[in-house]
Amino acid sequence: MQIDIISVLPELLQGPFAHSILKRAQDKGLVSINLHHLRNYSTNRHRSVDDYAFGPDAGMVLQVEPIYRAIEDLKSRCHYDEIIYTSPDGELLTQKLANELSSKQNIMVLCGHYKGIDHRVREHLITREVSIGDYVLSGGELAAAVIVDSVVRLIPGVLNDETSALSDSFQDNLLAPPVYSRPAVFNGWEVPKVLMSGNFKEIERWQMEQALERTKRLRPHLLDSVDEQ
């Protein structure tokens, strides 16, 4: 998979992709993540990419022209299955959407900006708008990092058995059961006995009970859609 991200603050995105699972996925050649600075597509010598909004509101807006040039430049070198714009009013990111995106070949992500972008970009160039939740971030970069992380870890081969996505919360619309490690007793706090029983049937049953109980209590709406995925 190839993921190309266009942003006015690509520096913000360098950290999240340079470590751990996302780094290993790139090192293994399973995904290539490329950051593109919108300023490189500016047409003026100040390299500016924003201007005043039309109308009575004095705010600045990212202009259509540099964004168009950036998207067209990337499109001339690659076919994209989705061109995603990160925005608080987009479709909510869910495990289901992450699963769907993880099966795509190439994805472009245009990071939203607190100033807003010329709406013609959204009308003519974007195929999908995604939000990571009902709260406001200063920019789309952190949202892009969250979206990319949730997608890349689902690409076959990215996770090994130990980190398998199969036992993740949400993967089957259930929250994950609790996990414990040594020591078996710390400070008088005990690990549930069943986990040390060696009886795998019993352990599996306990984990399923826990997953159901936690889901019912903490995310009841997930149980309404158990068959949806």
Q: Which stretches of the chain bind ligand 6GU, using CB under 6 A?
A: 86-88, 112, 131-133, 135-137, 139-140, 143
Query: Closest approach of Cβ 87 to ligand 6GU, in Å?
Result: 5
How many beta carbons lie within 10 A of that of residue 81, not counting itself? Answer: 14
Bridge partners, residue 83, by sequence = 108
Handedness of CA 201, 207, 211, 212 (dihedral sign): positive
Query: Closest approach of Cβ 189 to ligand 6GU, in Å?
Result: 37
Give CA–CA dist 75/29, Å, rounded: 21
Query: Closest approach of Cβ 143 to ligand 6GU, in Å?
Result: 3
Give CA–CA dist 143/129, Å, rounded: 11
Instruction: Write down the H helix ranges in 84-194.
Output: 95-102, 119-124, 141-152
Residue 201 in tokens? 């049937």
Query: Closest approach of Cβ 195 to ligand 6GU, in Å?
Result: 37
Nearer to ligand 6GU, 135 or 189 (CB): 135
The DSSP annotation for 92-110 comes to EP-HHHHHHHHT-SEEEEE
Nearer to ligand 6GU, 110 or 174 (CB): 110
Bridge partners, residue 131, by sequence = 92
Query: Closest approach of Cβ 86 to ligand 6GU, in Å?
Result: 3
Nearer to ligand 6GU, 137 or 195 (CB): 137
